[in-house]
């Protein structure tokens, strides 16, 4: 029901005019695509940093699915932003020359309520995953995995390489990055109300980003674009994202499309895309109230995607543990950690709200030990928080 309300907000903002007061501001129109220009008539949309981090995250995920990288090489990718083969799609520059780093971006949004101690704890946890993968899992690459022993597990066409506690680290890392980097930067930085408020004065004055006269955008415009880039930056044509399960572009983009593909959640993709377009148009028009409303749509919709996907993977991890179940639960674990950076009822999720869920997935022999009753309990709580049916989350195409 909330999703329908969000959609109505986005649509109504695009089609309704102001009241009959002749002194009312002109109606803000969203463009047909995410295309905007500065005073110089040239595009002033830029999100190369987001493209870089998304590409880095993809390469790191792939590297963690093999036994071809040393621990030092994996650490260099995560911590130092080096050791990558790819380039930034929009400008062709090497990822290694981007100056972007995944580890330092984890849990770093300026308007988040995550403490420095908590952020450091998550980064350290992720460091430990990389170490365990590059040592214990590597050393047991051809060992049959069982509860308490790392190694290889095959079920049907799927083979996973898991830790002694059943964690498939490439999946845990990838899904944690969705929340702790991508959603965090969007929700708790670039489309937070505090970011809008903090940058209004410079935007009103037309001050270029960081005072750089070569930039034809303000910090507020750029921040909105950076948020957009974390969702749609790897699309073949980012201004016109394709809503298709056959054309998913990784991380939030993929799961936004997965959730939208289900009839129970249909429309959430357009809610996000339309809110981004209308919100950016509102920023350009200096209609901060309208921009704030669209920011709220984005925050709530992305938060719901994380909640739905966490429940989906938890429920698909039920039953006797095999390669498919541990794969799903490793994804669920990352999404549960990602919930810390989402919103429920307009407020950021507190650490205390997910602490028991994380503990249940980590306790004893971890994913080997978690019970179906525990998985049902966690998924049921998420369904209540985000206002969806548990049954609706089970059969998403992931």
With beta carbons less than 8 A apart as the criterion, state whether 7 and 179 touch.
no
DSSP for 332-397 reads HHHHHHHGGGSEETTEEPPHHHHHHHHHHHHSTTGGGT--HHHHHHHHHHHHHHHT--HHHHHT--
- Tens digits of residue pLDDT in 159-183: 999 999 999 999 999 999 999 999 9
Flag whether pLDDT at 384 surpasses 50.
yes
Segment 56-65 mean pLDDT: 98
Can you give the residue ranges of every domain in the chain?
2-11+56-394
Mean pLDDT of the chain: 93
How much is the pLDDT for 179? 98
- Tens digits of residue pLDDT in 285-340: 999 999 999 999 999 999 999 999 999 999 999 999 999 999 999 999 999 999 99
Looking from the CA of 75 toward its CB, the CA atoms found within 13 Å total 11
Q: What are phi and psi of 70, to 5 degrees?
A: -80, 165
Q: How many residues are given for the chain?
A: 398
Distance between CA atoms of residues 90 and 88, nearest Å: 6
Flag whether pLDDT at 8 surpasses 90.
no
Residue 390: count of CB within 10 angstroms of its CB: 17
Q: Name the nearest CA neighbour of 2 among 243, 252, 251, 299.
A: 299
Flag whether pLDDT at 364 surpasses 60.
yes
């Amino acid at each position: 029901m909330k999703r329908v309300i969000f959609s109505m907000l986005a649509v109504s903002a695009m089609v309704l005019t102001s009241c009959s007061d002749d002194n009312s501001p002109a109606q803000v129109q969203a463009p047909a695509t995410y295309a905007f220009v500065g005073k110089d008539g040239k595009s002033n949309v830029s999100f190369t940093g987001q493209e870089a981090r998304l590409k880095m995250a993809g390469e790191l995920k792939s590297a963690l699915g093999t036994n071809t990288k040393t621990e030092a090489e994996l650490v260099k990718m995560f911590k130092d932003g080096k050791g990558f083969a790819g380039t930034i799609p929009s400008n062709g520059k090497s990822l290694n020359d981007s100056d972007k780093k995944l580890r330092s971006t984890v849990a770093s949004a300026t308007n988040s309520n995550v403490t420095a101690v908590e952020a450091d704890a998550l980064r350290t946890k992720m460091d430990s995953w990389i170490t365990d993968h590059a040592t214990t899992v590597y050393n047991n690459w051809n060992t049959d995995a069982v509860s308490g022993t790392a190694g290889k597990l095959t079920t049907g066409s799927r083979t996973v390489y898991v830790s002694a506690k059943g964690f498939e680290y490439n999946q845990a890392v990838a899904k944690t990055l969705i929340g702790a980097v991508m959603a965090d930067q969007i929700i708790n930085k670039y489309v937070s109300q505090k970011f809008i408020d903090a940058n209004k004065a410079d935007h009103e004055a037309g001050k270029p980003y960081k005072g750089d006269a070569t930039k034809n955008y303000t910090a507020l415009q750029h921040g909105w674009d950076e948020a957009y880039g974390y969702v749609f930056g790897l699309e073949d044509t980012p201004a016109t994202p394709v809503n298709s399960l056959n054309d998913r572009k990784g991380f939030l983009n993929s799961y936004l499309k997965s959730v939208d593909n289900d009839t129970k959640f249909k429309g959430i993709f357009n809610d996000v895309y339309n809110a981004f377009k209308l919100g950016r148009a509102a920023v350009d028009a200096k209609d901060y109230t309208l921009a704030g409303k669209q920011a709220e749509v984005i925050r709530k919709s992305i938060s719901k995607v994380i909640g739905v996907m966490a429940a989906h993977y938890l429920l698909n991890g039920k039953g006797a543990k095999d390669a498919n179940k541990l794969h799903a639960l490793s994804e669920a674990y990352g999404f549960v950690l990602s919930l810390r950076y989402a919103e429920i009822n307009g407020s950021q999720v507190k650490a205390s709200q997910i602490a028991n869920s994380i503990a249940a997935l980590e306790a004893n022999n971890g994913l080997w030990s978690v019970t179906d009753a525990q998985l049902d309990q966690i998924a049921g709580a998420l369904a209540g928080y985000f206002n969806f049916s548990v049954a609706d989350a089970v059969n998403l195409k992931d």
